[in-house]
Homo-oligomer: A and B are copies of this chain.
Amino acid sequence: MADDPLVIFTPSGKRGRVPVGTPVLEAARRLGVDLDSVCGGRGICSKCQVAPGKGAFPKHGLTVAEDALSPVNAVEERYDRIRGLKPGRRLGCQAQVQSDVVIDVPPESQLHRQVIRKSAAERVMAMDPAVRPFYVEVVEPDLDDPTGDFQRLSQALEDQWQIKGLRADLDVLSRIQPVLRKANWKVTALVWGDGRQPPQLIDLKPGLLETPLYGLAIDLGSTTIAGHLVALDDGRVLASSGLMNPQIRFGEDLMSRVSYSMMNAGGAAEMTLAVREGLAQLASALAGEAGITPSEIVEAVIVCNPVMHHLMLGIDPVELGQAPFAPATSDALVLRAAEIGLGIAPAARTYVLPIIAGHVGADCAAVVLSEQPQKAETPVLIVDVGTNAEIVLGDKTRVLACSSPTGPAFEGAQISSGQRAAPGAIERVRIDPDTKEPRFRIIGVDLWSDEDGFAEAAKATGITGICGSGIIEAVAEMRIAGLVDPSGLIGSAEQTGTARSVPEGRTHSYVLHDGTAEGGPRITVTQGDIRAIQLAKSALFAGARLLMDEFGIETLDRVVLAGAFGAHISPLHALVLGMIPDCAPDQVTSAGNAAGTGARIALCSRAARVEIEDQVRRITRIETAIAPRFQEHFVAANAIPHATDPFPELSRVVTLPQVGFNAGDGDRPRRRRR
């Protein structure tokens, strides 16, 4: 009514009139203001703390009187005595509106608080997890009331929180009676809901739950499984960990695992078991790191590509190994954690992102969720570099995706001194263009190899080999330094002017580091290594070029390198190598583990899940295996950086020498070749 007090909430600005005596929490509900409450207004959870304004607010045209809110009552006094209320704060469920007032809702009292992701993406997102705690007081049974305890619990949740149609798995049902009685019928129900399926009771805790809820975000890659334990109240990462995918023993890459399942009866089942064990192990490690038990984790989100997806779910991936590469199912899935043996709360739900079909997987969906190409004004290329490279090109008008079989060279496989990224592996390389001398960094040591103290520091791990990012930089540096010609041929000592170029069979190798004196390996870049890298990078380039053809563009304004590996690739070296089409080097950025970030976003926000499920339907997939121009683009990309494209953007920053080493030219003068 017109005379009722006017309440204005900040920061939202929502306002309205409420009758005198209305509790602030209720006023917030009526006006649609985001103010949290777990205990449902009983003054014990303190989530609804607010800071009432004082004095004049010309902007709002009102003045807040001293007694705009009711005096502090016994409940608030008790709360302040036991736990303390910050000065100026009131409990929204206790304080009642008496006259015009401005009320500020501090961030920690907001249910859908904004979180800034501490990642390169700097993405602002509203927390909207699927599992939330709801404190209720349940009516006790008596001889006149024939209903079950679960029915009365459900009724309490409906009455106090408008949760309708609650369901519970058998194992949860079997636990509620002791909890209810031990807690004297005052419990916190952990309820999962996605707004589409009926809400599920995940667990029941005695009394008011004081700790946050925990969720798991998992990026299930072919080579590495990475996971994050996340607090579901504010999205902060409490623990991160990873392990090698235990399926590697069945096949280094995806296609060899598909072959394994085709050749071995029960092979798919073996791999399913192996990967589930790995996932459970990861969940356990993350819980341990955060100091909780795995059963306290109440939700999980998993992203993975189609082959990993099927194997994890226990579906034989054989159809994914042959045209038309049809998956058994492509929509998002909600499973019980126990169905895949995850070892967290058994009734916890696990959300699996949708796959885009073929070889473009849920991890690509997660990349799209994280990078949001569909909101870009101009097309952005996103490359998730792994054993299978997943490439997305999109803008506001459309999003295309494809998968390119790069093979494991980028992860150190097929490389003579190659190894996975681990302490002791060479991860960065620079070669002096004049002296041809190399300097490098190894994982685990912060110094370059030509700096004082390096030899000492390297003793701990030794210098053991070269990993993916190292070999990419090595090859690119060799090209910049003129040790390798555009065709990829390593020159002889005479042609290159360095004794580090040594004969090896009918070709030459470049000695990066000879550790034999210390009992370590001699780490060289061989001609075979160059070829392996050339093939891998050509596949990546060709995939990207196909998407650009389909999009109708010839040049790129922006490239994002994603994937755990993508975070470590130097954009400049990636361009020199010609792994990606030409682009201004300062427009090539790393998104870190975009798939993992996407998983975390989906974990923290149901709205994001709906968004990605919708986006996935709009993504157009290009199948590289049968694209007519793939071979052409592939062959043209063999050269470093490219056979015909002059890479103008790169050229503004780096001048690549024009050299040419023909087999047998060793004795003849250098010929200039473009």
Residues of A within 8 A of B (CB): 141-143, 145-151, 168, 170-171, 173-174, 176-178, 197-198, 313-316, 318-319, 323-331, 335, 339, 355-358, 621, 623, 626
Contacts and interface: CB of A to CB of B under 8 A. Distances in A.
A198 B197 CA distance: 9
B328 A174 contact: yes
Nearest to A627: B143
27 contacts: A143-B358, A143-B623, A146-B358, A147-B330, A148-B328, A148-B329, A148-B355, A149-B319, A149-B326, A149-B327, A149-B329, A150-B328, A150-B329, A150-B331, A168-B329, A170-B314, A170-B315, A170-B335, A170-B339, A173-B313, A174-B314, A174-B316, A174-B328, A176-B328, A177-B318, A177-B319, A197-B198
A401 to B, nearest CB: 9
A324 to B, nearest CB: 5
Contacts of A174: 313-316, 328
B329 A151 contact: yes
A142 B324 contact: yes
User: Which of A142, A178, A326 has the most CB atoms of chain B within a 10 A radius of its CB?
Assistant: A326
Nearest to A181: B319
A173 B315 contact: yes
A86 to B, nearest CB: 43
A146 B357 CA distance: 5
Contacts of A150: 328-331
Contacts of A319: 149, 177
A328 B323 CA distance: 52
A328 B177 contact: yes
Contacts of A146: 330, 356-358, 621
Nearest to A335: B170
Contacts of A314: 170-171, 174
A171 B151 CA distance: 31
Contacts of A356: 146
A149 B326 CA distance: 7
B324 A141 contact: yes
Given A170-B339, A174-B328, A328-B176, A357 B147 contact: yes
A326 B148 contact: yes
Contacts of A339: 170
B170 A331 contact: no
Contact of A143 (B143, B176, B318, B626): B626
Nearest to A165: B196
Enumerate the 3 nearest inter-chain pairs by beta-carbon distance, A residue then B residue, closest first.
A146-B357, A148-B330, A141-B326
Contacts of A323: 143
Contacts of A626: 143
A445 B143 CA distance: 48
A143 B173 contact: no
Contacts of A178: 316
Nearest to A141: B326
A144 to B, nearest CB: 8
Contacts of A171: 314
Contact of A325 (B143, B327, B355, B623): B143
